[in-house]
Amino acid sequence: MPDSLQFSWQLLIEDTELDGATLVVDYVPAVITCRACGAETTLEMAIMLCPHCDCADVTLVSGEEFQITSIDRVHEVC
Ligand SMILES: [Zn+2]
């Protein structure tokens, strides 16, 4: 996902006035809660499985965010 985001960004800004702009990405870890044993786990990989009881009945608590927090523009003085 992060790589494809960077790749899409490059395609998007190519030959526009944003060409050369940098995409800064803050990664939010995915946290799941298990409905079977109640354990809350921060996922290392994108596998929706409770590591405590191997149950797949889990709820995604965070990590689904996709938010643009700021766009900074630098005006070059020619
Ligand atoms: Zn569990």
**71 — pLDDT class (breaks 50, 70, 90):** confident
Of 68 and 6, the one with more pLDDT: 6
**pLDDT value, residue 64:** 76
Whole-angstrom distance, CA of residue 46 vs CA of residue 51: 12
Cα–ligand 1 centroid distance for 41 (angstroms): 9
Dist CA 68 CA 58 (whole Å): 27
Provide the mean pLDDT of the chain: 85
| Domain 25-65, CATH | 2.20.28
CA of 51 to the centre of ligand 1 (A): 7
pLDDT at 77: 67
CA of 68 to the centre of ligand 1 (A): 33
Indicate the domain borders of the chain.
Answer: 25-65
| 1 in Cβ contact with 7 (< 8 Å) | no
Task: Give the Å distance between the CA of 5 and the centre of ligand 1.
Answer: 32
pLDDT of 40 over the 80 cut: yes
44 Cα–ligand 1 center, Å: 16
pLDDT at 1 over 70: no
